[in-house]
Amino acid sequence: MARKSTTYKDALEIVIWQFADKGLFSFCCYRCGEAFTVEDVRTKPSAPNAIQKEHLHEMGLDGKDKPDNCRFSHKSCHDIVTNGTKATKKNSSKYRIADTKKKERARLEEEALTPAQKLLRDAERKAAHLAKPKQKVKSRGFDRTYRKKFDGTVERREESQNEHQ
């Protein structure tokens, strides 16, 4: 009969049982600092209090799956780092990975161009910039049917004055 390999969740449960019961050790979330419980290890992976292995340097950015690059955190804490919030989308892991890949593609495309293609591209950009006509902003003008006096009162102008102006 073959032996069952121990997963990191099994190992976490063992660590929590051995040390937490004796009060020697508390195993905490890397992000929020809250101590993990055995129930956190046993919950479904989709539950917000489930434990997830988190990589400090993202795997998508050439991070390694080694112990010095890994930490454990709650799924809800890890999701904020991975997906960001409405206020911090640009600081999320997904944004950093996508941005890095986009820059890398642009760099590779730039390296693939010949000097003649680079000159042609630059000339097209310059021509597109110069081709845009500059438009004057039209003023809506002033209403000349009324006149304000120095004492603050407003009076209607006479028709003959409006025709001359």
pLDDT tens track of the chain, all 165 residues?
566 666 777 777 777 766 666 665 677 888 898 888 778 878 888 888 888 888 888 888 888 888 888 888 889 999 988 888 766 777 788 888 889 999 999 999 999 999 999 999 899 988 887 777 777 777 777 777 888 888 988 888 886 544 545
Say if 156 falls within a structural domain.
no
Distance, CA of 154 to CA of 147 (rounded, Å): 6
Say if 125 falls within a structural domain.
no
Residue ranges making up the domain that contains 66: 8-102
Taking Cα atoms as reference points, which of 79, 73, 105 lies closest to residue 92?
79
DSSP string of 8-58?
HHHHHHHHIIIIITTTS---B-TTT-PBP-HHHHHS-TTSTT-EEEEESS-
pTM of the complete model = 0.56
CATH no. for residue 37?
1.10.30
Pairing of strands 70-74, 146-148: unpaired
Say if 153 falls within a structural domain.
no
What one-character DSSP code corresponds to residue 117?
H
Number of domains in the chain: 1
Say if 119 falls within a structural domain.
no
Residue type, 141: G
